[in-house]
Structure 1
Amino acid sequence: MELCVDIRKKLSGFELNLNFETSEDVLGLLGASGSGKSMTLRCIAGIETPDYGQIVLNGRILFDSQKGINLPCRRRRIGYVFQNYALFPHLTVEENIGFGIGELRRKDQKAIIKEMVTMIKLEGLEKRYPSQLSGGQQQRVALARALATKPEALLLDEPFSALDDYLRNHMVRQLTETLGKFPGAAVFVSHNMEEVYRVCRNLVILSRGIIEGKGGTKEVFKAPPSLAAAQLTGCKNISPAIYISPFELKALDWGITLKTNIKLSQDIKYVGIRAHLIGAVSDETKDNVLRCWLNFANEAPSRITLYLFIEKENPGQRGHQIEWEITPQMWRFMKIQPQPWKLWIDPEDLIIV
């Protein structure tokens, strides 16, 4: 099962220009609001028409601008889970699930509906209407309706955006399990990097219609190939950087020199470090040790974000702020330690752009 997308479409303020393919591993489309993620899905589904290009699903041409092919939605064999679920309010759970399979015999329809209801664990709620369901239950009905038609590809547009944190975590687990059994191509759209990381094996990062990075999800997070990709994957500490030597660079905003464990290109532009990968040390002789003073702390139940001033290489001169994310337990320890704190950046964790 393979989905190949190579399209262009003029949008307000920028052009959508995409070229990617995916098979049975779930592909994530990660980007900020307005980056073209939902439009990409709508073009694949046939709701919108690209200006130029080609979309092919399992060897079937769904769209080809040069050949004049543009299959209607109903012939594309694509399931679509909308951001707001788009359930029919006047239809019950079982009627919503069966809406797209009306051409089958009644006996076969009932069998598929029963299979889907069991899959989404809503037994006993078949006669209820969407208004009588929780947000998580509605999301499951929308997923079951998309899968009931036995699609060759499944498109999911921000499926957890309307859910609270508890339901979102529960549904991420359930969706991951469901997609693991889905035999076709699946594309998952989100602006939430943690959802994408948990759900998707592969990743495409979009910024204003342009692909800023693509590949295995873990690999792209580990080494984002552009500034936009680093920002969209959650790197909060980024500084312009210049080359000093094959394994050494200068972080200009931070006013410090950093050692790396990879050979640097002379056209290096930025260096970054994820806020949760900074550590505290007592040994000031190690490479990449920073002397930092606390500016202020932003406390949440499970994570504390500290905003720190770095001491520049000129003694006594404090420079740019960085963010450090730690646990509440670590925060209780650190706030009684004399400042400046000695923090360490592992060369392995540096992001080089």
Structure 2
Amino acid sequence: MQKRLANFDLDLALNVTESTLGILGGSGAGKSMLLRCLAGMESPSKGQIVLNGRVLFDAKSGINVPSRDRRIGFLVQNYALFPHMTVAKNIAFGLPKALSARQVRQRVEAQLAAVQLQGYGDRYPIQLSGGQQQRVALARALASEPELLLLDEPFSALDTHLRSQMEQEMVTRLRTFNGVSLFVTHNLEEAYRVCQDLLVLEQGHAVAYGAKYDIFERPGLLGVAQLTGCKNISAAAEIAAQTVLAGDWGLPLQVVDSIPDRLAYVGIRAHQIRFTEHANQCNTVPCWLVSTSETPHRMTVFLKFNTQPDHPQDYHVQAEVFKEKWEMLKQKPLPWFVQLDPLRLMLLEA
């Protein structure tokens, strides 16, 4: 499928089975446009869209099935509930016209029960909390028994507590959903919890597509490593068998993975940098604390290798440690020692 856009072309070919596919990418990468094309809200420039053997779009044949006939549920960021309609009418909005009034009522009641909003059918969206609105929007998306469910940043409008609660409810619904679901999010941890597989988009193209474990552990490309949250990346070059020089860090590093011919960078995730008492271990280096950044449960510590820092921005890497470990670590004299585990180092192409 191709779609010509202002700054780039959306050009994708993918085959998704009955699971939840997470879609990651920077702003403007084409994530929402992909969903709009699938839903029939936008028309691709070229290619096909086929759902369970039904051709929804074919540029050559002139086939372009209207949105209402595609059997696709779509949950958008702001839920798009109709303010002048009751909850029941919102849920019933996308149901087939051929259904009887009794069938419509039964489906609406079943969806209200599924999202734990029995008795809310006569209320209006303005009378609901953010979490309740999200449940109604999900109920509406699933009421028509779609074959494909599109979720575009479904938790972005919720506060932290509700996000966690709604995420668990969404995971439960997706487990029983007999179809394909695509989940667009900017939240890396959210994608990891909800999805089994990931598609990483950059400028309208797939730069990674596969199991989430593989993509996070071995991203392969600089852009994929950055989009999946790797904060520590250095220019790198091969200097010997299974050894690379991390130029920005001034470190020779032993690696386990085969060194790619087009090696350009080496990276390690902040939570995988390990503090150690054993200075003679492989890839172990002395470091000085430059600064810290605190979250409720973790400390991010900014470190400089081999020499003391000259100013607050003079650091090489950042490491994440739990508060309990930090309380012990900060008592120890500098320099500390960290190990960049060869098993955790990611070798990246540009």
**TM-score, normalized by length of structure 1?**
0.94
- Aligned counterpart, 1:295: 290
1:328 aligned onto 2:323 = yes
Question: Could you tell me which of 29, 42, 47 is aligned with 2:36?
Answer: 42
> Mean alpha-carbon deviation: is it higher for 143-152 or for 263-272?
263-272
Shift of 1:320: 4.7
Structure 2 distance, partners of 1:50, 1:311, is 54
Does the residue aligned with 2:99 lie in a helix, a strand or coil? Answer: coil
Does the residue aligned with 2:47 lie in a helix, a strand or coil? Answer: strand
Question: Could you tell me which of 62, 73, 90 is aligned with 2:84?
Answer: 90
- Tell me which amino acid in the other structure corresponds to 2:162: L
Structure 1 distance, partners of 2:17, 2:258, is 34
1:20 aligned onto 2:14 = yes
1:72 aligned onto 2:84 = no
Counting only pairs closer than 5 Å after superposition, residues 21-170 of structure 1 correspond to structure 2 as 21-101=15-95, 102-170=97-165
Structure 2 distance, partners of 1:70, 1:152, is 17
Does the residue aligned with 2:151 lie in a helix, a strand or coil? Answer: strand
> Mean alpha-carbon deviation: is it higher for 265-274 or for 213-222?
265-274
Structure 1 distance, partners of 2:46, 2:67, is 18
Structure 2 distance, partners of 1:268, 1:129, is 57
Q: Do 1:254 and 1:320's aligned partners in 2 also have CA atoms closer than 8 Å?
A: no
Structure 2 distance, partners of 1:24, 1:274, is 31
Structure 2: any 5+ residue segments left out of the alignment? none
Structure 1 distance, partners of 2:139, 2:43, is 26
Question: Could you tell me which of 178, 181, 188 is aligned with 1:193?
Answer: 188
- Tell me which amino acid in the other structure corresponds to 2:10: L
- Tell me which amino acid in the other structure corresponds to 2:120: L
RMSD between aligned residues: 1.4
Counting only pairs closer than 5 Å after superposition, residues 218-257 of structure 1 correspond to structure 2 as 218-257=213-252
Structure 1 distance, partners of 2:294, 2:66, is 51
Shift of 1:135: 0.9
Question: Could you tell me which of 197, 203, 208 is aligned with 1:208?
Answer: 203
Q: Do 1:311 and 1:317's aligned partners in 2 also have CA atoms closer than 8 Å?
A: no
- Tell me which amino acid in the other structure corresponds to 2:152: D
Q: How many residues align?
A: 344
Structure 1 distance, partners of 2:217, 2:337, is 25
Structure 1: any 5+ residue segments left out of the alignment? 1-6
Deviations 1:135-162 (A, max 9, x none): 1111111010010001110001110110
Shift of 1:83: 0.9
Q: Do 1:297 and 1:307's aligned partners in 2 also have CA atoms closer than 8 Å?
A: yes
Structure 2 distance, partners of 1:291, 1:145, is 57
Does the residue aligned with 2:293 lie in a helix, a strand or coil? Answer: strand
Structure 1 distance, partners of 2:72, 2:256, is 45
Shift of 1:34: 1.3
- Tell me which amino acid in the other structure corresponds to 1:106: A
- Tell me which amino acid in the other structure corresponds to 2:64: N
C-alpha spacing 1:317/1:108, structure 2 compared with 1 (3 Å) = closer
Does the residue aligned with 1:160 lie in a helix, a strand or coil? Answer: coil
**TM-score, normalized by length of structure 2?**
0.95
Q: Do 2:298 and 2:322's aligned partners in 1 also have CA atoms closer than 8 Å?
A: yes
Q: Do 2:199 and 2:209's aligned partners in 1 also have CA atoms closer than 8 Å?
A: yes
Deviations 1:81-100 (A, max 9, x none): 01110001111111111111
Structure 2 distance, partners of 1:128, 1:91, is 9
- Tell me which amino acid in the other structure corresponds to 1:351: M
